[in-house]
Amino acid sequence: MLGRVRLAGDEADRPVRLDLLARADSVLLPHRTTTARLTGRIRIAGRADDPGAQGELEISPLAHRRIRYRLAFELEGRRLHLDGWKSVSFKRPVTSMTVLPYTLYEDGEQVGEGTLRFPLATGLLPFLTGFRFPRATQAAAGRHLAPRWDGTPGRTEVWYTTLTDPATGSGLWLHHEVVAPSDGAPAYAHGWIALFPKDGPAEHARFGPAPWTAGPDGFTAADTSATTGRLTGSAGPFGWALTEKDQGPPLHTFPRWSWRRPWLPASHMLPATRARYSGTVRHATGELRLAEAPGASARIYGHGNARRWAWLHADLGGGDVLEIVAAVSMRRGLDRLPPLVFLRLHREGRTWPRRPERTAVGWAGIGRFRADIGLPRWRVEGRAGLRRITVTVTQPPEGTLTLDYTDPDGSAAVCRNSERADAEVRLERWWGRWRPEATWRLAGTAHAEVGDR
């Protein structure tokens, strides 16, 4: 905002410029009151230039008819407070929403007064495009474990965990699933545990089915539970008790809205990009002791399994994670499309590409990412902005477990899963030509699966 100020002792007004960023913990609802934190820069010509101004914004255009700014900043070593508000009037909507009269205080005493104006011509577009939905806070990470199923028939919901024991090179897969059959039969819970020893064939055991009663936190059925920070249970010769420590922000493999509003056939997300697991897993031939084993948990909620799909979770090290789901839907019409690729590269704290829809549908199909699904090797590649990525996954036949899946409508699918897969990830950046930006090679630590019918 631009404007003027008359400081106490000054004989004339001075130009003022205010550049602010507002962050709120909740979504801005126009009919309610939202409080946001302000950070930014205030410049008073010849007197102050404080890039560390901080304060509070109260946004209430309808309930209070007021948008109030309170900001503390430095002026020549003095600590000043700006307090002003726009008074929203329906008779003068533009003026009242863009003019901010304010008063400056120092220790409660008035030391200045002025008016700021929002420059509509140059500021409106950046302002509107600058809106973002607030990120979920870390403390609320556990909420992603809460059951989503609302009683609708024909739904399936999954909590699964995959990890790699760095000490033995073994992989572990824990799958917890609730199936609500399409015919209205009672929902049932079941799952399995699969161990992928470094040298030898995978072994697994199923638990359930058991009647499903939804609890407030995660999956609990048939002596087995997957709740916040804890995984316990038993199946056949297996018994396990693990603790889980999240080490990253939530990651939505599918568009974030599809998790809140289940309008897609299914949605997949990770409550945390990475997690560390400790505890013991007892199996038929011995016991696996885990200490800070890397892995991740994930969630699926939808109508059932895809017609054909591939999945990859690759812990690239240094906090970076690659998550891929490429799938062909069962829905009529959509089943004729090539696999839709949802690729999320969480790298250096940012996720690329910014929107999941970009990799799946591109610009109306143009520029979408492509997947070549097969076994033992499958491949995904694509380009967004000035970067392109090529991912090659190899699932060793001896380290791949084949399991039968059953959809809510009773149809069957076959899944071939390996928690000891290899993966090569090549990231390039355009700068006159394609130049390598980063390459990761995972040997036996990638988690992948391919499914079909």
Partner 1 sequence: MTTSPQALTGLVAAVLADDGTAEWTGAVPRRVAALLDAMPAPARTAVRGAAAAIDAYAVARTGRRLAALGTAEREHVLTSLAARRTLLPLLDAVKMPLLLAAGTERMLHHGPRPAVSAPADPPLDCTPSPHWPTRSTADAVVVGSGAGGAMAARTLAAAGLRVVVLEEGQHHTTESFGRRAPLDRFTDLYRDGGATVALGNPPLVLPVGRAVGGTTVVNSGTCYRTPDHVLARWLNHHGFAAAEGFATHLDEVERALRVARQPLDVLGDNGLLALAGARELGWAAAPLRRNAPGCRGSCQCVVGCPTGAKQSVQLSVLPDACAAGARIVTGARVRRILTDRDRPGGPRAAGVVAARPDGSELEILSPLVVVAAGALHTPPLLRRSGLGGHPRLGRNLSVHPAISLAGRFARPVTGWKGVLQSVGVEELHTDGILIEATAAPPGMSSFVLPGVGRELRMELERTDHLATLGAMIADRPSGRVLGRERPLLRYDLAARDAGRLLGAQRAMGRLLFAAGAEEVLTGVPRAPRARTPEHLEALLDTVSARHLHVSAFHPTGTAAAGTDPDRSPADPEGQLRGVHGVLIADGSVLPSCPEVNPQLSIMAAALGVAGRYVARAR
Alpha carbon distances (Å) from 142 to 81, 230, 250, 296, 337: 39, 11, 10, 14, 35
- Name residues contacting partner 1, limited to 99-138 (CB under 8 A): 101-103, 110, 113, 115
Which SS3 state, helix, strand or coil, does residue 123 take? helix
Chosen residue from 13, 83, 203, 357 binding partner 1 by CB under 8 A = 83
Least Cβ distance, residue 265 to partner 1 (angstroms) = 39
For partner 1 (CB under 8 A), the number of binding residues is 18
Give the span between the Cα atoms of 306 and 335, in whole angstroms.
9
Residues 13 and 5 sit within 8 Å (Cβ to Cβ): yes
Contact flag: residue 81 with partner 1 (CB under 8 A): no
Which is nearer to partner 1, 38 or 423 (by Cβ)?
Answer: 38
DSSP, collapsed to helix, strand or coil, labels residue 268 as strand
Site string for partner 1, 14-53 (x = CB under 8 A): -----------------xxx--------------------
Q: Is 32 or 347 the residue whose CB approaches partner 1 more closely? A: 32
CB of 46 to partner 1, least distance (A): 22
Judged by CB under 8 A, the stretch of 82-90, 142-150, 225-233, 326-334 that binds partner 1 is 82-90
| Nearest-angstrom CA–CA distance, 439 and 415 | 28
| Least distance CB 101 / partner 1 (angstroms) | 4
Distance CA 257, CA 359 (A): 16
- CB nearer partner 1, residue 31 or residue 350: 31
- Which helix or strand (DSSP H or E) is residue 257 part of? helix 256-260
- Specify the residue for token string 């255009």: 61
- Contact characters 283-302, partner 1, x per CB under 8 A: --------------------
d(CA 301, CA 18): 45
* Least spacing, CB of residue 128 vs partner 1, in Å: 25
Q: Within a 13 Å sphere around the CA of 309, how many CA atoms are in the beta-carbon half? A: 22
Least distance between partner 1 and beta carbon 351 (Å): 35
User: In the bound complex, what is the minimum distance in angstroms from residue 20's beta carbon to partner 1?
Assistant: 17
User: Residue 87 interacts with partner 1 (CB under 8 A)?
Assistant: yes
Q: Is 309 in the site for partner 1 (CB under 8 A)?
A: no
- In terms of CB distance, is 95 or 280 closer to partner 1? 95
How far apart CA 206 and CA 174 sit, in angstroms, is 10
Residues 59-78 that bind partner 1 (CB under 8 A): 60, 63-66
Residue 38 CB, nearest approach to partner 1 (Å): 16
Establish if 85 lies at the interface with partner 1 (CB under 8 A). Answer: yes
Nearer of residues 2 and 111 to partner 1, judged by Cβ? 111
Cross-strand pairs, 179: 156, 188
Least Å distance, CB 14 to partner 1, is 17
Report the number of secondary-structure helices (H) and strands (E) in the chain.
4, 30
- Indicate the residue among 100 and 195 with the shorter CB distance to partner 1: 100
- 82 vs 242, which CB is nearer to partner 1? 82
Q: How far is the CB of 32 from partner 1 (least distance, A)?
A: 6
- Pick 84 or 356: Cβ nearer partner 1: 84
Residue 316: DSSP 8-state: E
DSSP state letters, 318-372: TTEEEEEEEEE-SSTTGGGSPPEEEEEEEETTEEESSSHHHHHHTBTTBT--EEE
Closer CB to partner 1, 110 or 213, in the complex: 110
Alpha helix positions (H), 115-255? 120-129
CA distance 134 to 21: 13
Question: Please, which residues have CB within 8 angstroms of residue 353's CB and are 6 or more apart in sequence?
Answer: 343, 359, 384, 385
Enumerate binding residues for partner 1 (CB under 8 A): 31-33, 60, 63-66, 83-85, 87, 101-103, 110, 113, 115
